[in-house]
Amino acid sequence: MTTVKMRERLRKQEFEAEMAEIFRGAEAEINKVAREKEAAERQEEQKEARWEAEMNQIYVATEKEIQKIERAAVAERRAVQQAIEKARKAAEVQCRKREREQAKQEKDAATTVRKVARLASQNVETPTGVLGDISNT
C-alpha cells in the first residue's frame, strides 16, 4: 500500500471516528431530551391528576353542602307547613268553641224569652211588678 492510500485510509478512519463521536453525542442529547420530555409529561399528568382530585373533592363537598341545605329547606318547609296546619286546626277548634258558646247563648236567650212569655201569660208577680201588667210600663 502506498503512503497516499494509507493517509487517505487514515483520514477516512479519523473522519468516520469523528462522525461516530458526533452521532453518539447527538444520540445521547436526543435521549437526554426524550427523558426530560417524558419526565415533564409525567409531571404534567401528575399535576392534572392532583388537580382533578382536588376538583372532585370540591365537587363532592359542594354536593354534600347542597344536599344538607336542601334537607334543611325541606325540614323548614315541613315545619312551617305543620305550624300552619296546627294554627288552622287551633282556629277551627276556637271557631267551633265560639259557635257552641253562641248556640248556648241563643238557646239560653230563647229559654229566657219562653219563660218570660209563660210568666207574662200567667200574670206572675216579680220584684219589678206583675208580668203581663202593662200599666207599670
Residue-wise pLDDT for 106-117, tens only, equals 999 999 888 888
Q: What is the pLDDT of residues 4-51, one digit of tens each?
A: 888 888 899 999 999 999 999 999 999 999 999 999 999 999 999 999
pLDDT band at 127 (very low <50, low <70, confident <90, very high): low
**DSSP letter assigned to residue 135:** G
- How does pLDDT run across 65-74, given as a tens digit for each residue? 999 999 999 9
pLDDT at 119 (0 to 100) = 72
Long-range contacts of 70-78 (CB under 8 A, 24+ apart): none
pTM of the model: 0.46
- How far from the centroid of its chain's Cα atoms is residue 70's Cα? 3
Quick: pLDDT tens for 74-101: 999 999 999 999 999 999 999 999 999 9
Q: Is residue 126 within 8 Å of 137, Cβ to Cβ?
A: no
Query: How far apart, in whole angstroms, are the C-alpha atoms of residue 94 and residue 39?
Result: 81
